[in-house]
Amino acid sequence: MRGRLPPQERTESVIPIVLVLAAICFNAVLAFINGNVTKLSAQHVMLVEAVLVLGAQAYAIVHFNRHMTPWYAFIVLVGLFSIIRMAAIGEVELKYFRDFLLIQTFVVLGMASSSRLAVRMMMLACAIVIAGIALEAISVSTFSKLFDVKDYYIATRGMDFGEFTYEDSDLYVSATRYQGRFIPFFGLHRMSSIFLEPVSLGNFVLIVVCFALAFWRDLTTRQRVFICLSVILMIVASDGRQAIATSALILGLAVFTRIVVPNVAIFILPLVILGAILAVGVLDLHSGADDMPGRLAYTVELMGRMQPIDYFGLSDRLVPEAADSGIVFMIITHSIVIFAVLWILTVVSLDGSTRARADYLNSIWLYLALAMLVSYSFVSIKTAAPLWFLYGVLAGPVTSEVRVRPRVPLRPVARHEAA
């Protein structure tokens, strides 16, 4: 009987790529169907998302490995807590379980994949996003006719026309700012591409930055140039001030960790929260304004109003108010215990034994920690899928066997062995 082929010689399935790209793009496809074929509802969105999750879970189970065990134990723990919470609140709330299920699903999918597939997936994703930006920039009317974003969100998200400030525009509500663009771009609005709204495009930029840091040695020169140009174009197109600031901080952190200490992920979240509290106090920031300082102050204010029952996730009294505060919303819907388990599990599963792992873990926790202060958008499947898929790839067995090498090799390492 023939022995098992080494990981680099096995035939790799493209199913993980298809699933992640589908997660990124399916809202754009549904928007096209809603605007040009037949009207859809929230149930159609949930159905497609459920199919993607089931497909990813099925693939992961077929390719199960020991690295997945803690993540399946984690989702069982989340499920048990969800049952306790629903019993305490007296309402069925599957959405909150779904938020953590998405994380676990794409982590284990990544653990069943490889760095080669991860690179291919991100190249394709960036190409699709850039194509969407080009279409939106060249002909807004064509983009609007194809996707009719306003009607799609009204039909599937329960929004109403009153929430869309510019009645003459079919784009998402945040596509136009009263004060205009932060970065001038030929007089155009804030673009969304296939994400349909600018915030997710801004979040995707940050994921690409994290990817570039971790997978830089796996990229060809052309791929590196393409990724760098894509990041610049997407930042300018989305006009995301948070994307600009966070990208700069991620790059700064990467420089710091190369000089001082490689793995600081475990400290990032508490330091960011402490920094937010100090900033609000020292700068005398106040909630109310729908901008970064206002949202930051609002999050700190909500944290000050939390009671023990909120920390244990057994009350929904602050849920309606916490939509723009990711850290508060995540704690009051899942408990501080579940949140802490997720935080520790992500750090432990992806140790800093390689530069790529340390860079990615540091980068995503800086991105998540900053995003949690002002939004809950980071749980959207459009950006959560690639983020956690890449995490799973780096934490999985194929990456461990193929890419990890000793810090001080005992013998010369051939170029193809170190890749």
H or E element, residue 358: helix 355-372
The distance from CA 184 to its chain's CA centroid, rounded to whole angstroms, is 26
Under 8 Å between Cβ of 265 and 363: no
* Other Cβ atoms closer than 10 A to 346: 22
In three state form, how does the secondary structure of the chain look? CCCCCCHHHCCCCCHHHHHHHHHHHHHHHHHHHHHHCCCCCHHHHHHHHHHHHHHHHHHHHHCCCHHHHHHHHHHHHHHHHHHHHHHHHCCCCHHHHHHHHHHHHHHHHHHCCCHHHHHHHHHHHHHHHHHHHHHHHHCHHHHHHHHCHHHHHHHHHCCCHHHCCCCCCCCCHHHCCCCCCCCCCCCCCCCCHHHCCHHHHHHHHHHHHHHHHHHHHHCCHHHHHHHHHHHHHHHHHHCCHHHHHHHHHHHHHHHHHHHCCCCCHHHHHHHHHHHHHHHHHHCCCCCCCCCHHHHHHHHHHHHHHCCHHHHCCCCCCCHHHCCCCHHHHHHHHHHHHHHHHHHHHHHHHCCCCCHHHHHHHHHHHHHHHHHHCCCCHHHCHHHHHHHHHHHHHHHCHHHHHHCCCCCCCCCCCCHHHHC
Place of tokens 């599957």: 94
pLDDT in tens, 217-233: 999 999 999 999 999 99
Under 8 Å between Cβ of 164 and 173: yes
pLDDT in tens, 251-277: 999 999 989 888 899 999 999 999 999
Residue boundaries of the structural domains of the chain: 13-405
pTM for the model: 0.88
Dig out the tokens for 417 from the structure. 């062995």
Under 8 Å between Cβ of 245 and 362: no
Per-residue pLDDT at 8:
46
Half-sphere exposure of 337 (CA within 13 A, CB side): 13
Per-residue pLDDT at 402:
41
In three state form, how does the secondary structure of 391-417 look? HHHHHCHHHHHHCCCCCCCCCCCCHHH
Under 8 Å between Cβ of 297 and 285: yes
Mean pLDDT by 10 residues, the chain (419 residues): 43 90 96 94 95 98 95 97 92 89 97 95 98 92 89 82 58 54 61 90 96 95 97 90 92 92 90 93 83 87 93 91 88 94 92 86 95 88 97 82 40 40
User: CA dist 305 to 299, 309, 321, Å?
Assistant: 10, 11, 11
**Is the alpha carbon torsion for 253, 254, 256, 262 positive or negative?**
positive
Per-residue pLDDT at 270:
94
Dig out the tokens for 395 from the structure. 């934490």
* Other Cβ atoms closer than 10 A to 135: 17
